[in-house]
Amino acid sequence: MKTVLITGAARRGGAAIARRIHARGFRVILHCRSSSKAEAELLCQELCTQRADSALVWSHELNQDIPVPPDLNNIAGIVASASSYVDSSLDNFDTHIDADMQTHVMGHIRLIQHCKPALIQNNGSVVAITDIHVQRASSGYLTYQIAKGALASAVRALAVELAPQVRVNAVAPGPFEWPSSNTISAQRQAQILESTPMRRIGRFDELASAVEFLLLDATYTTGATLNVDGGRATFLE
């Protein structure tokens, strides 16, 4: 059975992507960090109830040395969804830059290195989750945006490097479902919605649909970035 590895698959957008890819008949590897392993195991149980032995949990920190993932030879796709969204500025740049680069860029590139032979053999595909703020920066998340920008650049470079056997694309999300530990004020939420032409936040099933398209169906598309943001990147000034 062909396998797709989804990083950051325990919750929110990563979990929605895992469910969508699993529904297409693939086995999914649910990567997670140790702090979210319990949630990943619940999702794994849910998916394996639907189809036996169709999901497994792989817990590893992306900012550490990356081992060879399980079920390596069957990997036909990678979704680089794992992320860390932490405030940073020039004043604490040195405190955050290494962790952000490891989590968003270096860990994923090393993972692709491990999987390269399988991806080539299986005519595979990679989709990275970047951010609309790569195109239009905002204040308060300096090292996160630098790292996501590097990931977006890596997508374009890897699309050339791995062609023609492997396609590499990106989805750049805008505002999506507010996190349960929401620290965004009501005023800021209203500002975000006001600057989003569709006047609402996105649903994670909409993010998953875009990833599914690029990963499995857009067979003549590589090196591209699809904004899934309700038009916000176009509208922002």
Q: Which domains does the chain have, with CATH numbers?
A: 3-235 (3.40.50.720)
The burial of 17, by beta-carbon neighbours within 10 Å (0-12 exposed, 13-18 middle, 19 or more buried), is given as buried
Beta-sheet strand order (sheet of 167-173)? 55-59, 27-32, 3-6, 75-80, 125-129, 167-173, 225-228
Print burial letters for 212-221: b (CB count within 10 Å at least 16), e (below 16). Answer: bebbbebeee
Structure tokens at 231: 């038009």
Angle between helices 12-23 and 204-212 (to 10 degrees): 50
Confidence of residue 186 (pLDDT cuts 50, 70, 90): confident
Per-residue DSSP letter, 19: H
Query: What value does the mean pLDDT take over residues 201-214?
Result: 96
Known active-site residue 144: yes
**Which one is catalytic: 85, 141, 144, 220?**
144
pLDDT at 63: 86
Confidence of residue 182 (pLDDT cuts 50, 70, 90): low
Of residues 185 and 105, more confidently modeled: 105
